[in-house]
Amino acid sequence: MAYRPGSFSKNFAWRGKGLHKLHAVIRKGFRGNLTPVARQRFRDESGLGASLSLIPVNFFLNNLNNELSVDELVFQAIQYTHSARFDRLALFAFHLNRVGVFSQKDARPAMWANEFVRERLWLDGVWQSSALSVSSLDDFFKDRIRAQEDVKVKCRSNYRHLYELCEFLPSPLPVINSGADYWFRSSMFLAWDRHVLAGGSDDRTSLLSIVDEDELYKLLGLTREYTLARANDVVGRYFAVGGVARFTKRKKEATETVLSSAGSASDEQIMDELAIHEMEEEDAAVQRRTVERQEQQRDQRKAAVLKQHYRNTCMFCGIGLEIGGGKIYSEAAHIKALGKPHNGPDKKSNMLVLCPNHHLQFDRGVLRLHRVGEHYQIKSKSAGDSLHGKLIDFKHRIDENYVKYHHDWHK
Ligand SMILES: [Zn+2]
């Protein structure tokens, strides 16, 4: 099917830091309140020109009876400062392409983008960089967008611009790390908010079924199995906070608290609640890694020999972890990970010997290596980490390509 591009063909070069401008526009348009706002008033207050103000309204926000709803995207914009997480959630909102029921005809105005991700970008549980090349997109747009050639070109540049702002482009690797582990809960909340706002049922079964029916895992750049398993956990949280009614509920509670002047500030409760969500997301991601690690077929012998070679001491911190009985414990870490989508090889030139803590940090990309002359140096994303800048001595040959791959994947 071919779609009309509508206002997406407007030239919206949102230069600068990511989708900072969209973040600011949402705050302005909602005046910092978690209350629905009339479409027209939002447009007037957005600070954007008449035609450009249609972009956030028609492609990113949820419309309901000429009002813009409060949902997870609006909440994230108002509650938090701008971040890369917000940008990626906004791109997800764009791809989700459920922007309300203000008009049947325009209810899913960028269906082509949704179809692009599901048909071309996602393959085998991960996004393919090659799908975002100019020629690949032009090929897709050829019969999917109904417009003049120059309009199609504008759409293509706008669309690629979104990926650039989200730092998915340019991509140094054949596959793109969507980072969805870190915005998983918010993306599920958003998808469910919009499903319910559009009149969908809010029972557990139907919320979980849209993950499959709408192929949300593709929009997240994850595998189906992993997404279904995590959605199953997250749906409980969604009910616990009150579903899409959580914003109105909170406001009412806050008012009542003030009226009865009975202590506990609900803002703090909300922040605690969110902190817990974040921790849960971290835990789930760690669990996933552990499962992946266990599932992977390894040549234990090779790893054992290498660990012996380093006397079971961590190549990063030099610690040999005593575990009783005179034994010292270490782990063999793969630089380019085994299994999909990385498919790193199980050989010594792709291995490090690390303590469990640094193994986890290395797998998560908190610690990375980069080459300096003849040596490798540790880069740490953890503030004040004494390992940052440390030069590593290798007692075995490692393949620089794997180090580069790991470095770029976690960029
Ligand atoms: Zn260590």
pLDDT per position as a tens digit, 361-396 = 999 999 999 999 889 999 999 999 999 999 998 899
Separation between Cα atoms, residue 364 and residue 339, nearest integer Å: 15
User: Cα of 117 to ligand 1 centre, how many Å?
Assistant: 39
**Picking from 40-49, 184-193, 251-260, 339-348, which range would have the lowest pLDDT averaged per residue?**
251-260
* Cβ neighbours of residue 50 closer than 8 Å, sequence gap 6 or more: 43
Q: How far is the CA of 358 from the centre of ligand 1 (A)?
A: 5
- Cα–ligand 1 centroid distance for 303 (angstroms): 17
Residue 252 has pLDDT above 80, yes or no: no
Question: Average pLDDT in the 220-241 region?
Answer: 94
Report yes or no: 195 and 207 within 8 Å, Cβ to Cβ. Answer: yes
How many residues are given for the chain?
411
Span from the CA of 143 to the centroid of ligand 1 (angstroms): 54
Distance 356 CA to ligand 1 centre (A): 7
Segment 268-315, tens digit of pLDDT:
455 555 555 555 566 666 666 555 555 454 567 888 899 999 999 999
Q: Residue 314 Cα, ligand 1 centroid: separation in angstroms?
A: 5
Rounded to the nearest angstrom, the distance between the alpha carbon of 387 and the centre of ligand 1 is: 9
CA 318 to ligand 1 centroid distance, Å? 6
Q: DSSP label at 57?
A: I
Tell me the CA–centroid distance for residue 226 and ligand 1, in Å: 29
The whole-model pTM stands at 0.79
Q: How far is the CA of 299 from the centre of ligand 1 (A)?
A: 22
Q: Within 13 A of 388's CA, how many CA atoms are on the CB side?
A: 9
User: How many angstroms is it from 411 CA to the middle of ligand 1?
Assistant: 21
